[in-house]
Structure 1
Amino acid sequence: MLFDYEAGLIGLDGIKGAKLLVALLAVAAVFFSPWLGARVLPGVAAVAGSASLVVSAALHAGVGGLADPHTAFGTAEPAALLGLLLLVPLRGRRWWVSWAVPPVLWAAIVLRPVVTDVRDIDVIVALSFAVGSTAVLGGGVTWRLIRVDRRRRAEALRLAQRTEFARDLHDFVAHHVTGIVVQAQGALAVAERHPQLLRPSLERIEQAGAEALTSMRHMVGMLRNAPREDEKPALTPLAGIAEVRSLVEQFSMVGGAQARLDMQGTFDDLPVEVTTTAHRVVMEALTNVRKHAHGCSEVRVRAIRSTDSVTLRVSDDGRSRGPRHGSGSGFGLKGLSERVHLMGGHIQAGPMAGGGWRVEATLPAAPVPTGATR
């Protein structure tokens, strides 16, 4: 704007003053765009573009008696309008706003050089503005589409995780109810011959029922959306600590890196939803080692049980071949993080100081109330 002022392209009176006001409005809109909402920014941009078109019409009509064709030129106003042309498609909340405002900005930028005279230099500048504006608009639209696609994929990921939780809920209920039925049958069998054993049996049935209710409340609280009828998610069996051992052994049998499992503490009393999530953590980490760890010779899997939590740490000594997102689509660790967070735990993944990669997850040893995970 200082350059435009010293060059006499903007001023404090007449049509130059109007150009100055439009330039100030456009520059201010770009500068304050981080604080403008998705609804306010397109409106401000529309006002700036419309004001620029009004000034162009005034220049074309010869308002103020200015015949110098250079009066139409400037640098601050078109640069700021270009910035708005990028931001509006990217941040506009409603699609009709995102598509209605950019043509106004595009016309304001392209038409200004030819409003007072149509010379070769004016046409060249207008064509340059047209190409640049179209490129900026295309960049903004492309950027918005990428963000929309990422949000859609993230939502699909969350839906898939909740679908899997729904399947787990069915298995948890079947597991607990089967135990209750077996214990009830045993209580009936001993009721007549050994009535003194009936009370302990009823206490065990009561405990099993309480565990079933706890699991159901925990899992149902995690569910947010129901899958569509035409979606058939892949089902995976329940897994426990024994399956984690088998997973590590099978990894070593395939060849290449050797995996070693270190376990500290007792894991037999963990809820099945915790052991299943622990199995998924180890499986995803070992899969990423196989895919991305170049030159890996050793993988160490550690499971540490404390009073109220279970910590799983999978580390390797390989060199990374690329981003370790896992699951070809780039959402493996993100999906795992979604599941761990819903359990009330947390997970971290990243390179180690001495080389290699580490995935560490901490899970609660008992189900966390739904309200505590939000």
Structure 2
Amino acid sequence: MVALARALLFDYEASLIGPSGIELAKLLVALIAVTVVFVSPWLGAQALTVVAALVATASLAVSVALAFGAGHSHAPEAAYCFAEPAALLWLLLMVPLRGRSWWVSWAAAPLLWASIVLRPIASDATEISVIIALFFAVGSTAVLGAGATWRLVRVDRRRRAEALRLQQRTEFARDLHDFVAHHVTGIVVQAQGALAIAEKQPLLVRPSLEQIERAGAEALTSMRRMVGMLRDGNGGEEEPALAPLGDISEVRSLVEGFSAVGASVRARLDVEGAFDGLPVEVTTTAHRVVMEALTNVRRHAHGCTAVHVRLVRSVSGVTVEISDNGRSRGGHGFGSGFGLKGLAERVSLVDGSIEAGPTAGGGWSVRATLPVHVGGVG
């Protein structure tokens, strides 16, 4: 921004822009272009694209005026300036990057490119002006390519993030299927038992009905929460394959299996508190945290000899912590891949939080906090 202001001042002091004639028109266009650059962070995507196209049109109009009469009384250098093409180059970078409607973005970009390239040869096509025009053409094309590439990278990142969210919702759908099947089977069995004893021992029917009521209420509560997490899923036609429902009781076998696969790595599990009566979305998420963290230890913790898995049940929720003493070989944290990013997405769906980072001893630690009372559809 400061460089643009200095370029504008230099153009004025060098009489490349001025208070009268064609220099005044150039001054007005340069002022407008620099102003748009200054306010571009506060302009919406559509507004920035439209304004940039209008500025480019105004610049082309000045070039036409220079080519057909207005500039004939001036030297070829009268077409040159620094602030206006610099501002237009910035807009040429931003339009492909921020534009939402592709037809608007790709209509504005050629106008900006032409306004930058044609200005040096507007007054007179001398050898120097043609060289400058070619230089501007190469620079403008490079800037346009950089903006388009940057946009494609951002689109790809959004696509991958969306695919990750859909994957997490698919996993929730699998868990929901197994959860519903488990509870409905229990309710059916209890109902059959109540029917069997209704005539012979009617006094035992009421406790059975109360158990059925509690089981049904628990199933409905967790179903509301999990369906709320899936409310904006992909709605795809392909039915996902069903997977076993992992919970706290399976964490021990998960840790034991980890040690069995890598004999040189000792994995220890510490469990504090009672984990009965937890919502299914909390237990399955805790299991998924341990599984993903152990997978990352296997992949990225070079020289790891010990892994400590700790599960703590408190009044407010469940804390899951996995730490190792290995040396990271890259890709061990949230910013380097989609494994722990997916885990963060999974934890956030149950209103939990997760953090990962190096430990004081040189290893790595993953810590997730899962509230017992998670948000959901009321």
TM-score by length of 1: 0.93
Equivalent runs, 1:8-157 vs 2, <5 Å: 8-63=15-70, 66-157=73-164
Deviations 1:239-295 (A, max 9, x none): 122211111111112224322111110012223222111111111111111111222
Distance in 2 between residues matched to 1:244 and 1:140, nearest whole Å: 48
1:361 maps to which of 354, 357, 368:
368
2:256 maps to which of 206, 224, 249:
249
1:313 maps to which of 315, 321, 325:
321
Q: Which amino acid aligns with 2:81?
A: G
Shift of residue 94 of structure 1? 0.6
Distance in 2 between residues matched to 1:6 and 1:289, nearest whole Å: 64
Q: Which amino acid aligns with 1:67?
A: H
**Which residue of structure 1 aligns with residue 172 of structure 2?**
165
Q: Which moved more, 1:151-160 or 1:134-143?
A: 151-160
Q: Are 2:321 and 2:368, in contact at CA under 8 Å, matched by a contact in 1?
A: yes
Q: How many residues align?
A: 369
Q: Are 1:214 and 1:367, in contact at CA under 8 Å, matched by a contact in 2?
A: no
Q: Which moved more, 1:3-12 or 1:181-190?
A: 181-190
**Which residue of structure 1 aligns with residue 278 of structure 2?**
270
Equivalent runs, 1:291-310 vs 2, <5 Å: 291-310=299-318
Across the aligned residues of Structure 1 and Structure 2, the Cα RMSD in angstroms comes to 1.9
The answer to whether 1:285 aligns with 2:285 is no
Distance in 1 between residues matched to 2:265 and 2:34, nearest whole Å: 58
Indicate the SS of the match to 2:185. helix
Q: 1:174 to 1:363 in 2, by over 3 A?
A: same
TM-score by length of 2: 0.92
**Which residue of structure 2 aligns with residue 220 of structure 1?**
227
Q: Are 1:14 and 1:64, in contact at CA under 8 Å, matched by a contact in 2?
A: no
Q: Which amino acid aligns with 2:290?
A: V
Shift of residue 27 of structure 1? 1.1
Distance in 2 between residues matched to 1:232 and 1:174, nearest whole Å: 17
Q: 1:236 to 1:58 in 2, by over 3 A?
A: same
Shift of residue 162 of structure 1? 1.8
Q: 1:30 to 1:354 in 2, by over 3 A?
A: farther
**Which residue of structure 1 aligns with residue 5 of structure 2?**
none
Deviations 1:202-249 (A, max 9, x none): 2111111111111221111111234322x3545421012221111111
- Residue ranges of structure 2 left out of the alignment (5+ in a row): 1-7
Q: Are 1:39 and 1:92, in contact at CA under 8 Å, matched by a contact in 2?
A: yes
Q: Are 1:351 and 1:358, in contact at CA under 8 Å, matched by a contact in 2?
A: yes
Q: Which amino acid aligns with 1:94?
A: S
Shift of residue 196 of structure 1? 2.9
Distance in 2 between residues matched to 1:33 and 1:367, nearest whole Å: 41
- Residue ranges of structure 1 left out of the alignment (5+ in a row): none
Shift of residue 81 of structure 1? 0.4
Shift of residue 297 of structure 1? 2.0
